[in-house]
Structure 1
Amino acid sequence: MKNIMAAPGYMTTLFVVLLLAGCAGSTTMGDGDVVAMPLTNTYWQLVSVAGQPVPESDTEQKAHILFLDDGRVSGFSGCNQYMGDYRVRDENLLFDSMSSTRRACPDSQTEELLFAALAKTVGVNLEGIELRLLGESGEELAVFEASRMK
């Protein structure tokens, strides 16, 4: 039986494969610059809304938003599912035809603030792993962070 460990180049090939596998989820380039995550098909977890950090919750599903390539948007407010349409032109972002489920929640403050932010959004700033929804005068309405789906 042939010993594959002794084959020339085996260890080098194994090292390169392991190195590339370790870098696959990285969002930084070699010079330390952060690579911006794409707006679409990224799980954006809500970090803050109306200047307030989103409180930790016991639920497995966190408040988030997903932008699909076909102009649809969907997400979870921390209590209810929501969906609708969106349009992006340059740095302008508008939501349209938004709707949600109507589940009663003991604490709906985050949901109320998020839905108000979506209604006021006219701009977007995407930098690295952060997505900021902006109001008419450039004020920050909500901040999301790119996160791996669990």
Structure 2
Amino acid sequence: MKKLSNVLFLLVFLSFSSCDSISKMNPLSMLTGNNWVLSSILGGGLDASKFTAGLPFLNFMDGGKLSGFAGCNNFSGNFKLDGTSLNLDPGAMTKKACGDGNGENQFVSLLSQAKNMKVAKDKLTLFDGAKELMSFVPQAK
């Protein structure tokens, strides 16, 4: 009986240890390798009609490189990550004439306001302090 309780104690300890290591995963490794597709703006739903050429997405790459699509135009810039503090610079952007939707302007404006983030395997959320700006989900492969 004592051996069984020791084994159970060890299993519980290992379970909590592995959960702790998951919560301490490097945020950069969770950001890179995905196209993060916009799923909400300002904590609400997403009006896809504002993005006439498709939903915006972000792609974080090694070396602090950032690329993406803003709903009509592509961009290529940089990002800086320090813990959960984040600075996004969309950099150069193409200059295509876009349709009636004004979603791209709002998207780019909110990108520049992002100061911090929270990332998990299935969701990236950008914040300005405590204010939720946008959330993203990994693009289906």
**TM-score, normalised to structure 2's length?**
0.70
* Larger deviation, residues 53-62 vs 64-73: 53-62
Tell me which residue corresponds to 2:124: 131
Whether 1:42 and 2:27 are equivalent positions in the alignment is no
Q: Percent identity?
A: 27
The offset of 1:39, in angstroms, is 0.3
Matched, 1:142 2:134: yes
Determine which of 37, 49, 65 is the counterpart of 2:58. Answer: 65
How many residue pairs end up in the alignment? Answer: 115
Amino acid at match of 1:133: L
Q: Indicate the structure (1 or 2) with the bigger Cα radius of gyration.
A: 1
Take 2:72 and 2:137, find their aligned partners in 1: how far apart are those partners? Answer: 19
SS at match of 2:110: helix
Please, which of 45, 56, 62 is the counterpart of residue 53 of structure 1? 45
Q: 1:116 aligns with which of 101, 106, 109?
A: 109
Mapping for residues 3-82 of structure 1, pairs under 5 Å: 38-56=30-48, 61-82=54-75
Q: CA deviation at 1:51?
A: 3.5
5+ long unaligned stretches in structure 1: 1-35
Q: Which amino acid aligns with 1:64?
A: F
Q: What is the CA distance between 1:113 and its match in structure 2?
A: 1.2
How far the C-alpha of 1:77 sits from its partner, in A, is 1.1
The offset of 1:86, in angstroms, is 0.3
Point out 4+ residue stretches in structure 1 off by more than 4 angstroms.
57-61
- Residues 60 and 101 from structure 1, CA distance in 2 versus in 1: closer, same or farther, beyond 3 angstroms? closer
Tell whether the 8 Å contact from 1:93 to 1:122 is kept in structure 2 after alignment.
yes
RMSD (CA atoms): 2.7
Q: Which amino acid counterpart does residue 42 of structure 2 have in structure 1?
A: A
The amino acid of 1:115's aligned partner reads V
TM-score by length of 1: 0.66
CA contact (8 A) 1:78 1:111 kept: yes
Q: Equivalent residue of 2:124, what SS? A: strand
| 1:98 Cα deviation from its structure 2 partner | 1.9
CA distance in 1, matches of 2:132, 2:53: 27
